[in-house]
């Protein structure tokens, strides 16, 4: 067998791993991208909402996450709190990169990742409690307040006539758009290949050969790959990869279910919508995607009927006309969750040549471009475009393990 | 309240499973998509001019199920559209859905006809033999004024006979295999005359009606402007490679085309059952133990849906699965189960090689992958042309998962059921591999249409 040495082995061919591979290959590094095509991977399950503000303020999928927590017997909370401001800045900066990234990928690979600018996100306000909660978040925004608009029910109707009339209003995030996540990953992968990277499918990693505190080689079902550095982009499974190197990172799978309709007339939904029960967005192919649950069920990526039913009910409440739309598919995926809902990026710190690009949780797709840049910079020993410190694995070092687990 | 045993499919396998379990006191529900029990093979004609009297065996089974109505609940025109978390089955009937939670589940959904992609296959007027049969048997509608039946396997002859009996003008039967299957049977086959006599009867009837049955000929394209007008067929070699220089054009306004059957494994896949590749019985089939238990606890599969083997095998398998489920539910002790299953297992062992020999001759051959051109639609749900798939294959996508992402092939409402078996063969030909390495489709619920409103308002049986 020919030697399979490369500068960098990237483990995980989802959006994040493919982006790191692409950026490194473009810089001339010899890159091997290993993919295991595991059922339940988050990139394939994702709806592709690019909601840097909606998600960091907790008004995207976070509302449902919060509602789920509240329904488990815990006392009612006023609503999800925003994530740290520096994370919001990180997501916004990453989101801003999409238009150019889409152009570059189209030119390099011929694939259109369906990056749709201008669709915007509407968080629907059904009652006064939600309205008060939204107002608190708008107040918290301060200087960033100008990036968000409070809309009346009439404004919502003018923009999206099929949205329910039983509404107090909505928060409009004009900069929150969408992309096709599977095409994004595929285009990044093909872009990496165009720049000389090697892609190996069905390469489930089962060992890391260690020597002097470094990873010497990655051993997979598809062979052994000697390497100068390893990027752990294995999503919900990245905790297992870290463990192969003898280190722990607090990553756990958070299951999300999706209900997808048949192809509907373009413009059925003009905005992305988020509500207390679900979010909805129409993809450029015409399907409406209804997501998503946040469940802690280990690595079980199966669909729970009750949850699919609840999403359908939420969708019909938000857009009554969808009642007669045929369901095309329901499925589930596993997001890589972390205790503080922030990603784990950059050098591991304990294993010298191990880098993490994981923990994307609800925002892995929107975070992919900047995650790629920050991790690629770390691997190349260059200064990252934004500080890495808030996202280093080392931030969990002082916490006792049970706090980390119980998130 | 869900009954302890749920049987999906009311063909010979499903009915036999319900009967076997009921004989030991097990209460079951049988769900079937048809207007009445029988499945494809024993479908009851709903019109006197339906082309064929009801199959006697089908009538017997239906009568026995009816006699046990206190134990066997039959739900007709009901579609099982998904299996969740093992054996929770979502069912749609009269526009309303509910979730059933049986303790034991027998999947007997039957098989789908296999139609490989070819130019013009999506034209109105082109349909499967089974679809043509339903038109005649249940609606009394002739598929066309000049009908050609084409493909491979004994089912073509049965359908052609039914059409002729219903007064339809069948211009020809084109069979890709070189000769009548039973001529190649091992001697042992003649000990099960039922299988053979029927086939010979069909052939004799067609001869009497003046319908030519032409062997080693295959339809290679269909033409028409908005509807079928003309077909092209050509002689084929032993591997079914067409000799295009000898192509013949023939007028036809209906083409019934099918190349055998593919097991319907989608519900088993959703239940989490592991599959294995068995091309001799139609492709991907659930892994089963000797008693037809799948790899998922409390789930059995029987009949053509577990590997295409015909009605006789289906009936024995159904009984075996019904007994196994009754044993699991505590209605049948181990000794009695062993005594009752022994003759069934013996019969299955006897039938298997004969059936295999019959099928071996009509199994799709590699030449079927040579019919597509660039523009041929290979996935009609998502309107994907062969050129899109071929380009993706060249870019390194050679599995269902990767091709789905790159081209949307198999992503439509049929969940890849109708297109993927054909596309997998094309991919195999393009990569000089086996359809096995392209993997099975990964179907998602629903496999039958359900609206968001129906899902939102569905009931969950306690």
Query: What does each of the 407 residues of chain A score in pLDDT, given as a tens digit?
Result: 333 568 999 999 999 999 999 999 999 999 999 998 788 889 888 999 999 999 888 888 777 777 766 555 444 555 677 888 999 999 999 999 999 999 999 999 998 999 987 789 999 999 999 999 999 989 988 888 888 999 999 999 999 999 999 999 999 999 999 999 999 999 999 999 999 999 988 899 999 999 999 999 999 998 999 999 999 999 999 999 999 999 999 999 999 999 999 999 999 999 999 999 999 999 998 999 999 999 999 999 999 999 999 999 999 999 999 999 999 999 999 999 999 999 999 999 999 999 999 999 999 999 999 999 999 999 999 999 999 999 999 999 865 444 444 33
Model-level ipTM above the cut of 0.85: yes
Q: Given an 8 Å threshold on Cβ–Cβ distance, is B460 in contact with A324?
A: no
- Residue B50 — pLDDT band, cuts 50, 70, 90? low
Contacts of B450 in chain A (CB under 8 A): 326-327
Distance from CA of B446 to the nearest CA of A (A): 6
Mean pLDDT of B282-305: 96
What gap in Å lies between CA A176 and CA A128, rounded to an integer?
24
Q: Which residues pair with B107 in a beta bridge?
A: B8, B301
Mutate to test the interface with B, among A191, A287, A312, A321 (most CBs of B within 10 A): A312
Mutate to test the interface with A, among B403, B404, B405, B452 (most CBs of A within 10 A): B452
Find out whether A81 and A139 touch, Cβ atoms under 8 Å. Answer: no
For B254-298, the DSSP string reads EEEEEESEEE--HHHHHHT--EEEEGGGTEEEE---TT-B-SSTT
Residue B265 predicted with pLDDT over 70 = yes
- Give the DSSP H/E element, type plus range, for residue B113: strand B111-113
Q: What is the C-alpha R_g of chain B?
A: 22
A39 touches chain B (CB under 8 A): yes
What gap in Å lies between CA B302 and CA B280, rounded to an integer?
16
Contacts of B88 in chain A (CB under 8 A): 305
> Which homologous superfamily is B5-112+262-332 in?
FAD/NAD(P)-binding domain (3.50.50.60)
Distance from CA of B395 to the nearest CA of A (A): 8
Contacts of B412 in chain A (CB under 8 A): 328
What pLDDT sits at residue A404?
A: 43
Q: Given an 8 Å threshold on Cβ–Cβ distance, is A37 in contact with B452?
A: no
Contacts of A255 in chain B (CB under 8 A): none
Q: Given an 8 Å threshold on Cβ–Cβ distance, is B406 in contact with A186?
A: yes
Q: Given an 8 Å threshold on Cβ–Cβ distance, is B460 in contact with A305?
A: yes
Q: Given an 8 Å threshold on Cβ–Cβ distance, is A315 in contact with B456?
A: yes
Find out whether B131 and B254 touch, Cβ atoms under 8 Å. Answer: no
Q: Given an 8 Å threshold on Cβ–Cβ distance, is A186 in contact with B412?
A: no
How many beta-carbon pairs under 8 angstroms link A with B? 93
| Ordered alpha helix ranges (H), B84-240 | 129-139, 155-165, 193-209
Structure tokens at B374: 């660039």
Distance from CA of B444 to the nearest CA of A (A): 5
Residue A262's closest chain B neighbor by CA? B413
Taking the CA atoms of residue A159, residue A161, residue A163 and residue A168 in that order, the dihedral angle to the nearest 10 degrees is: 70
Q: Given an 8 Å threshold on Cβ–Cβ distance, is B395 in contact with A329?
A: no
Q: Given an 8 Å threshold on Cβ–Cβ distance, is A305 in contact with B405?
A: no
Contacts of A184 in chain B (CB under 8 A): none
- DSSP strands (E only) in A49-194: 49-50, 121-125, 149-152, 169-173, 177-178
A329 touches chain B (CB under 8 A): yes
**Pairing state between β B88-93 and B96-100:** antiparallel
- Residue B461 — pLDDT band, cuts 50, 70, 90? confident
What pLDDT sits at residue B51?
A: 54
What pLDDT sits at residue A403?
A: 44
Distance from CA of A16 to the nearest CA of B (A): 16
Least confident of A358-372, B330-344, B395-409, B426-440: B395-409
Of A305, A349, A343, whose CA–CA distance to A327 is shortest? A305
Contacts of A322 in chain B (CB under 8 A): 452-453
Q: Given an 8 Å threshold on Cβ–Cβ distance, is A304 in contact with B412?
A: no
Residue B460's closest chain A neighbor by CA? A306
Structure tokens at B5: 């045993």
Mutate to test the interface with A, among B96, B416, B455 (most CBs of A within 10 A): B455
* Claim: this prediction has a pTM higher than 0.95: no
Q: Given an 8 Å threshold on Cβ–Cβ distance, is B450 in contact with A322?
A: no
Contacts of B415 in chain A (CB under 8 A): 329
Of A289, A306, A328, A258, whose CA–CA distance to A114 is shortest? A289
List the domain boundaries for chain B.
5-112+262-332, 115-259, 372-438
Least confident of A366-380, B326-340, B381-395: B381-395
Distance from CA of B295 to the nearest CA of A (A): 16
Question: CA A62 → CA A34, A49, A330, B131, distances in Å?
Answer: 31, 13, 20, 48
Residue B458 predicted with pLDDT over 90 = yes
Q: Do domains B5-112+262-332 and B115-259 have the same CATH topology?
A: yes
Closest CB to A261 among B90, B99, B452: B452
A393 touches chain B (CB under 8 A): no
Distance from CA of B392 to the nearest CA of A (A): 11
Q: What is the C-alpha R_g of chain A?
A: 21
Structure tokens at B164: 């002729």
Q: Given an 8 Å threshold on Cβ–Cβ distance, is A290 in contact with B455?
A: no
CATH number of this structure's domain B115-259: 3.50.50.60
- Give the DSSP H/E element, type plus range, for residue B453: helix B452-456
What pLDDT sits at residue A142?
A: 85
Q: In what order do the strands lie in the sheet with B72-75?
A: B72-75, B28-31, B5-8, B104-107, B299-301
Q: Given an 8 Å threshold on Cβ–Cβ distance, is A327 in contact with B455?
A: yes
Q: Given an 8 Å threshold on Cβ–Cβ distance, is B99 in contact with A305?
A: yes
Q: Given an 8 Å threshold on Cβ–Cβ distance, is B455 in contact with A323?
A: no
Distance from CA of B266 to the nearest CA of A (A): 13
Closest CB to B90 among A199, A302, A305: A305
Question: CA A101 → CA A97, A223, B72, B395, distances in Å?
Answer: 6, 32, 61, 21
Q: Given an 8 Å threshold on Cβ–Cβ distance, is B456 in contact with A313?
A: yes
- Output DSSP code: residue B84: E
Contacts of A309 in chain B (CB under 8 A): 455-456, 458, 460
**Pairing state between β A272-274 and A252-263:** unpaired
């Amino acid at each position: 067998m020919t030697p399979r040495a490369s500068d960098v082995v990237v483990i995980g061919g989802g959006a994040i791993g493919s982006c790191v591979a692409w950026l490194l290959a473009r810089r001339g590094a010899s890159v091997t991208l290993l993919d295991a095509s595991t059922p339940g991977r988050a990139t394939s399950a994702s709806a592709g909402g690019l909601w840097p503000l909606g998600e960091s303020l907790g008004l995207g999928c976070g509302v449902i996450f919060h509602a789920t927590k509240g329904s488990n017997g815990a006392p009612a909370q006023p609503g999800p709190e925003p994530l740290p401001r520096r994370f919001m800045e990180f997501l916004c900066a990453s989101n801003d990169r999409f238009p150019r990234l889409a152009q570059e990928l189209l030119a390099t690979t011929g694939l259109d990742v369906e990056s749709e600018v201008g669709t915007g996100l509407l968080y629907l306000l059904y009652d006064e409690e939600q309205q008060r909660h939204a107002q608190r978040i708008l107040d918290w925004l301060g200087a960033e307040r100008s990036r968000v608009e409070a809309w009346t029910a009439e404004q919502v109707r003018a923009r999206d006539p099929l949205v329910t009339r039983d509404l107090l209003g909505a928060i409009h995030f004009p900069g929150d758009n969408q992309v096709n996540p599977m095409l994004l990953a595929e285009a990044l992968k093909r872009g990496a290949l165009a720049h000389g990277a090697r892609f190996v499918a069905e390469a489930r990693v089962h060992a890391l050969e260690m020597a002097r505190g470094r990873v010497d080689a990655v051993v997979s079902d598809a062979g052994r790959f000697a390497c100068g550095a390893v990027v752990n982009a294995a999503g919900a499974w990245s905790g297992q990869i870290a463990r192969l190197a003898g280190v722990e990172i607090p990553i756990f799978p958070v299951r999300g279910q999706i209900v997808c309709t048949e192809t509907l007339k373009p413009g059925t939904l003009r905005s992305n919508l988020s509500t207390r029960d679900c979010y909805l967005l129409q993809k450029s192919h015409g399907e409406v995607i209804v997501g998503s649950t946040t469940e802690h069920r280990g690595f079980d990526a199966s669909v729970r009927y009750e949850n699919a039913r609840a999403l359908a009910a939420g969708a019909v409440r938000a857009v009554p006309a969808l009642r007669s739309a045929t369901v095309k598919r329901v499925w589930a995926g596993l997001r890589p969750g972390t205790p503080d809902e922030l990603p784990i990026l950059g050098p591991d710190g304990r294993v010298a040549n191990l880098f993490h690009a994981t923990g994307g949780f609800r925002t892995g797709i929107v975070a992919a471009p900047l995650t790629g840049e920050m991790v690629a910079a770390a691997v190349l020993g260059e200064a990252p475009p934004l500080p890495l410190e808030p996202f280093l694995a080392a931030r969990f070092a002082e916490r006792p393990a049970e706090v980390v687990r119980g998130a | 309240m869900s009954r302890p045993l749920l049987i999906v499919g009311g063909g010979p396998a499903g009915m036999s499973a319900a009967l076997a379990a009921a004989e030991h006191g097990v209460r079951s529900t049988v769900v079937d998509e048809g207007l009445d029990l029988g499945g494809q093979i024993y479908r009851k004609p709903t019109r006197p001019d339906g082309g064929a009297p009801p199959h006697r065996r089908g009538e017997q089974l239906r009568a026995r199920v009816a006699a046990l109505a206190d134990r066997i609940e039959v739900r007709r025109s009901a579609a099982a559209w998904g299996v969740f978390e093992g054996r929770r089955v979502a069912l749609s009937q009269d526009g309303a859905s509910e979730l059933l939670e049986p303790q034991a589940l027998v999947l007997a959904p039957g098989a789908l006809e296999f139609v490989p992609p070819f130019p013009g296959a999506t034209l109105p007027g082109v349909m499967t033999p089974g679809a043509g049969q339903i038109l005649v048997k249940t609606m009394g509608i002739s598929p066309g004024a000049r009908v050609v039946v084409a493909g491979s396997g004994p089912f073509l002859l049965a359908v052609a006979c039914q059409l002729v009996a219903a007064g339809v003008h069948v211009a020809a039967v084109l069979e890709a295999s070189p000769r009548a299957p039973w001529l190649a049977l091992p001697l042992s086959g003649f000990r099960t005359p039922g299988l053979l006599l029927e086939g010979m009867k069909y052939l004799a009837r067609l001869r009497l009606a003046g319908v030519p049955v032409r062997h080693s000929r295959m339809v290679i394209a269909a033409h028409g402007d908005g509807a079928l007008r003309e077909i092209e067929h050509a002689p084929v070699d032993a591997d079914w490679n067409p000799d295009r220089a000898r192509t013949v054009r023939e007028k036809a306004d209906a083409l019934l085309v099918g190349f055998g059957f593919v097991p319907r494994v989608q519900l088993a896949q959703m239940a989490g059952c592991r599959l294995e590749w068995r091309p001799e019985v139609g492709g991907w089939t659930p892994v089963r133990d000797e008693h037809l238990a799948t790899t998922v606890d409390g789930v059995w599969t029987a009949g053509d849906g577990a590997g295409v083997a015909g009605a006789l095998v289906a009936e024995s398998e159904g009984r075996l699965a019904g007994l196994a489920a009754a044993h699991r539910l505590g209605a049948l002790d181990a000794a009695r189960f062993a005594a009752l299953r022994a003759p069934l297992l013996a019969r299955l062992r006897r039938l298997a090689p004969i059936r295999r020999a019959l099928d071996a001759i009509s199994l799709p051959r590699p030449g079927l992958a040579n019919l597509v051109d660039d523009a041929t639609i290979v996935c009609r749900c998502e309107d994907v042309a062969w050129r899109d798939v071929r380009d993706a294959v060249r870019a390194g996508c050679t599995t269902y998962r990767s091709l789905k992402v790159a081209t949307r092939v198999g992503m439509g409402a049929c969940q890849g059921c109708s297109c993927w078996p054909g596309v997998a063969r094309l991919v195999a030909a393009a990569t000089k591999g086996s359809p096995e390495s392209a993997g099975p489709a990964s179907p998602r619920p629903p496999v039958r249409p359900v609206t968001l409103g129906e899902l939102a308002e569905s009931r969950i049986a306690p």
